[in-house]
Amino acid sequence: KAGVTQTPRYLIKTRGQQVTLSCSPISGHRSVSWYQQTPGQGLQFLFEYFSETQRNKGNFPGRFSGRQFSNSRSEMNVSTLELGDSALYLCASSFGQSSYEQYFGPGTRLTVT
């Protein structure tokens, strides 16, 4: 069974631009969560989607948004990029609403210059 895939793997953007990251969960998984990983703040939860509905949201500004499609694929968008948005963005999928095991993708490395 294929794992969680994230595209693109690497991205370089300029301050003020916007970016869209994509995540394809493991087949059959309906929950997708997003995390930001930085050296200073560590791993922080962004949001989680289940069956196209956002169920949880972390403490990030409104510039960070996401959505989930009917096939469970998810995208996250960051508008008006800031230097501090440079990070590894990780997506994780799990089977259902109460599944404990989250399976992570390799991440998208975003660099904002």
Partner 1 sequence: GDSVTQMEGPVTLSEEAFLTINCTYTATGYPSLFWYVQYPGEGLQLLLKATKADDKGSNKGFEATYRKETTSFHLEKGSVQVSDSAVYFCALMYEGAQKLVFGQGTRLTINP
- Round to whole Å and give the CA distance between 59 and 45: 8
Question: Binding string, 62-91, against partner 1, x = CB under 8 A?
Answer: ----------------------------x-
The count of residues interacting with partner 1 (CB under 8 A) is 27
For the CB of residue 21, give the shortest distance to partner 1 in the complex, in Å. 13
Q: Are 51 and 30 in contact (CB under 8 A)?
A: yes
Q: Are 90 and 35 in contact (CB under 8 A)?
A: yes
56 binds partner 1 (CB under 8 A): yes
The amino acid that residue 86 corresponds to is S
Interacting residues of 42 by C-beta distance below 8 A, sequence separation 6+: none
For the CB of residue 86, give the shortest distance to partner 1 in the complex, in Å. 17
15 binds partner 1 (CB under 8 A): no
Which residues of this protein are in contact with partner 1, per CB under 8 A?
4, 31, 33, 35, 42-45, 48, 50, 55-56, 58, 90, 92, 94, 97-107
